[in-house]
Structure 1
Amino acid sequence: MAAAVGRGFLVQPCPLSFVSNKNTSRPSVAIGHGKPAKGRGFARHVTQAQVRPTWLPGLDPPAYLDGSLAGDFGFDPLGLGEDPENLRWYVQAELVHARFAMLGVAGILLTDLLRVTGLLSVPVWYNAGAVKFGFANTETLLIVQFILMGFVETKRYMDFKTPGSQAKDGSFFGLESALEGLEPGYPGGPLLNPLGLAKDIKNAHEWKLKEIKNGRLAMVAMLGFFVQASVTHVGPIDNLLEHLSNPWHRTIVQTLANSS
């Protein structure tokens, strides 16, 4: 997943020479590294360069992260994406983790808010998995989860290996048109894209960038939730309320210092 963290847009530097002289009504433009055009009048040489944004300013990104992937800011300190096939897999892995993280953050914050306000009687999020449900025992739920998740992940892997294969007639109980896979990692149709956003997925660079940025933020937020739960033994809304009650003395620094 580290290999896929950060991909951007690459524009090579393009020096421009602007030349103006008395005998012309408008300046002429010359692109290249040559000298400014000679003339009787005043000559001016301006060089402009657009530099590719990277996760660390001034850093030269690896050659295999060429900016064609969504959110590419050249971050791969371990060189995990040097192999093109590995890079394809890491991109999909990051996308899946990002989406699970976004769902997890939204679920944790919503249920924690309802719990703290007393609108819903639910356990704190890190104890939710230990709740016993009356309609089925734990073993049954675990088996059902393995079957359903195994089926979905198998379909996703098959589409990754052979793009478009899972959209063929008869490959999904006649529901292929409802899913309408756009490309690996981006299924569509009324079930998974009810708002019809980014139908032209090949040119949906802005939507892809927004999704992966939000997904990365959500993964960092989930890491924060884990640390909070381990240190404070309460949910994120409880931590927020405690901080707001005394912002100058109830911060992450004091919390970590007191826990140690």
Structure 2
Amino acid sequence: MVSTIGRSFNFQPCFLFNSKTVDKSLTARGHSWLWPTAAGVGATAPDRQIRAAAEQRPTWLPGLDPPTYLDGTLAGDYGFDPLGLGEDPESLKWYVQAELVHARFAMLGVLGILVTDLLRVAGISKIPVWFEAGAVKYELANTGTLVIVQLLLMGFAETKRYMDFINPGSQAKDGSFFGLEASLEGLEPGYPGGPLLNPLGLARDIKSAHDWKLKEIKNGRLAMVAILGIFIQASVTHVGPIDNLVEHLSNPWHKTIIQTLASSSS
């Protein structure tokens, strides 16, 4: 999630001399800002409550106050929004859904790349390396047909998801999905349910499933970083991640990222 850097710094003055020598009558003349508020001196009760809440809440960088529009209620909200993208509440709702979808795609992508690469390296299957899979001719159908089918299926699914976002619950009404609505019963926008998409029955009470949401978004963010690393790795080494791992394990002290980058730049 997101926090505004720069605007979120809270500077407290510190005195280089004994505070007893300062004219404390300044506070009575509207200069209470001269006094540090960390201990509550010169601060109003609401200020102390806000500070106490901010100190208890974990943030992406300790010492930074999260922006007011990120109050910690969203799963994975650690007050990170350097570009201020979440200032508009409606935009924030969409960004939350966009991050969730990208996280799920990244988790599936990392799993698919690692599993197929492991099967290929182990000699179990002749699956092509992941970045060449799109150029392979499949017996099932030609490339053009596969692309069109994928566009139609994903376009249909994404349209349904968008319609449920702008009008929550509309896609669960009778007749909205060929009579299969009960099998795809949504819990809330971004969290479909039913026996098909939630066969284990996890987080059935989605309103109190904060821990499940937090685990998913944490793993999703990790997967997004991992997939970026896999992309860069393939661009530099021109092989899959399992090949890179095997090469590193064969000579751990001399087959590292430093030597790889140095050899690729030469």
TM-score range, shorter-chain basis? Answer: 0.7 to 0.9
Instruction: Return the match for 1:188 from 193, 206, 212.
Output: 193
For the pair 1:55 / 2:60, whether they are aligned, the reply is yes
Instruction: Return the match for 2:125 from 120, 134, 155.
Output: 120
Per-residue deviation, residues 19-51 of structure 1 (Å, max 9, x unmatched): xxxxxxxxxxxxxx79xxxxxxxxxxxxx9852
Q: What is the identity, as a one-letter code, of the residue corresponding to 2:197?
A: L
Instruction: Return the match for 1:95 from 97, 100, 113.
Output: 100
For the pair 1:259 / 2:260, whether they are aligned, the reply is no
For the pair 1:70 / 2:57, whether they are aligned, the reply is no
Q: CA RMSD in A?
A: 1.5
Q: Contact 1:5–1:71 (CA<8 Å) still a contact in 2? A: no
Q: What is the identity, as a one-letter code, of the residue corresponding to 2:184?
A: L
Instruction: Return the match for 1:238 from 236, 243, 247.
Output: 243
Instruction: Return the match for 1:223 from 222, 228, 251.
Output: 228
Q: How many residues align?
A: 218
Counterpart Cα distance in 2 of 1:140 and 1:240: 35
Counterpart Cα distance in 2 of 1:220 and 1:178: 33
Gaps (5+ residues) in structure 1?
7-32, 35-47
* 1:117 shift after superposition: 0.5
For the pair 1:177 / 2:185, whether they are aligned, the reply is no
Q: TM-score, normalised by structure 2?
A: 0.79
Gaps (5+ residues) in structure 2?
4-39, 42-51
- The aligned counterpart of 1:199 is 204
Counterpart Cα distance in 1 of 2:124 and 2:102: 30
User: SS state of the match for residue 182, structure 1?
Assistant: strand
Q: Structure 1 segments of 4 or more deviating over 3 A?
A: none
Counterpart Cα distance in 2 of 1:55 and 1:61: 9
Counterpart Cα distance in 1 of 2:259 and 2:155: 44
For the pair 1:146 / 2:151, whether they are aligned, the reply is yes
* 1:69 shift after superposition: 0.2
Counterpart Cα distance in 2 of 1:216 and 1:163: 25
Counterpart Cα distance in 1 of 2:2 and 2:225: 12
Q: TM-score, normalised by structure 1?
A: 0.81
Q: What is the identity, as a one-letter code, of the residue corresponding to 1:108?
A: I
Q: What is the identity, as a one-letter code, of the residue corresponding to 1:105?
A: V
Of Structure 1 and Structure 2, the greater helix share is in 2
- The aligned counterpart of 1:157 is 162
- The aligned counterpart of 2:219 is 214
Counterpart Cα distance in 2 of 1:112 and 1:99: 20
* 1:145 shift after superposition: 1.0
User: SS state of the match for residue 63, structure 1?
Assistant: coil
Counterpart Cα distance in 2 of 1:135 and 1:222: 28
Alignment CA distance shift 1:5-1:252 (3 Å): farther
For the pair 1:81 / 2:86, whether they are aligned, the reply is yes
Alignment CA distance shift 1:5-1:236 (3 Å): farther
